[in-house]
Amino acid sequence: MKRLQKLSKLVKSLGLDAMLITSGVNLRYATGCSRIEGLAVIHANGTGVCFTDSRYIESVTRAVVPLGYRAVEPEGSYPTADTIRAYAEEQGIRSLGIEDERMSLAAFREYEKRLRCELVPVGSAIERVRRVKEDWEIEQILSAQRIAEEALRRLLPEIRPGAFEDELAARLCWHMAMLGSESGAMGMILISGKKTSMPHGEASHTAIREGDFVTIDFGAMTNGYFSDMTRTFGIGRVSGRMREVYGVVLDAQLAGIDAFEAGKTGIEVDRAARSVIERAGYGQYFGHGLGHSLGLEIHENPRANRTCAEVYRERDITTIEPGIYIPGEFGVRIEDMVWLSPKGKEVLTRFPKELTIL
């Protein structure tokens, strides 16, 4: 089903005349435009209009008209609340859905002040539509993942004692760009040594040493869709305790993948992996959730964690990324993407995850 049809169906199901889309990520979802600044209105009757300014009107028109939208450049200005007021009055819109979870209070007050129709918060309704990944969306995620994997393969010979974290991170970004990843791919984590005990540590001008773990959490982007993976490598040699912890995390990750099924809740999937870590005596060192969905955003719902009771369905995608982080010593995280395809569960990440010593 075309995006405009899906969103129009949503508007109708909510009992609204139309819905206003203001956030960049949902504009991209609705229109397919990689670069668009402006606003869109989706009607319950299956029509839509995109408002943008002179910088984008040509490219937006080419992109959205074939999808069933009209493209409009407001006279003399960037589209504003006054633009939507005039349009709503022209079209006889009485109830207009708004993205309350993505709109600032100041923006809401401006629309509330200017518009004469009823503004109806829709919460995460568009995100719930986005949750269901179509085949072509998975193809974009897969394309991004293959770019990320090849970039990491090219970087591996450069990860050695004396190399600097920040320089390696820059090189990995460069490899991804050369392979076709879009700019704006997710922020990278590339850390070594004791810093690996920080789940979201930042790369710095720190030299990698023999005996370190190096954790790399990163992703590429294709047509706006993210990939996400984490691998932890040993440098030269690792201690017995490091090997033990790595093995526990790998077992937990495999248990999480095995548990990820349609009908299971995020709590149940998280529990399957977390219990492996707890039984090994490292439960206090795994604080974050097991995984998250992704697509046009790197973190989307539903999530696998200790509080998400939402049930997974066919076509859901998630990361499975348990970790053990021992402050002052080291940390290990392993992350794959898994999709509940119509044909069954598919692990989308192909990069090896057995302990590799570089």
Q: Determine how β-strand 118-121 pairs with β-strand 95-98.
A: parallel
Checking DSSP bridges between strand 48-52 and strand 69-72, what pairing results, if any? parallel
What is the mean pLDDT of the segment spanning 245-269? 98
Asked if the 135-347 domain carries CATH number 3.90.230.10, the reply is yes
- In angstroms, the Cα distances linking 7 to 94, 116, 117, 125, 189 are 18, 23, 20, 10, 35
Domain boundaries, the chain: 3-131, 135-347
Q: What ranges in the chain are assigned the alpha helix state H? A: 3-13, 24-31, 57-64, 81-91, 105-114, 125-131, 135-155, 165-178, 240-259, 266-279
Distance CA 355, CA 358 (A): 10
142-169 pLDDT tens trace: 999 999 999 999 999 999 999 999 999 9
Task: Point out the least confidently predicted range of 16-25, 58-67, 73-82, 297-306.
Answer: 73-82
Q: Which of 61-75, 166-180, 207-221 shows the lowest per-residue confidence on average (mean pLDDT)?
A: 61-75
> Of the given ranges (72-76, 82-86, 235-239, 281-285), which has the lowest mean pLDDT?
72-76
Nearest by Cα to 164 from 214, 207, 203: 207
Mean pLDDT, the chain, rounded, equals 95
Instruction: Tell me the per-residue pLDDT of 323-333, one tens digit each, with 9 for 90 and over.
Output: 999 999 999 99
CATH fold for domain 3-131:
Creatine Amidinohydrolase; Chain A, domain 1 (3.40.350)
CA 337/CA 130 separation, integer angstroms: 17
Dihedral angle over CA of 79, 80, 82, 83, nearest 10: 20
Region for residue 316 given its phi and psi (left: phi exceeds 0; alpha: psi -120 to 50; beta: otherwise): beta
What residues does 192 pair with on adjacent strands?
Answer: 214
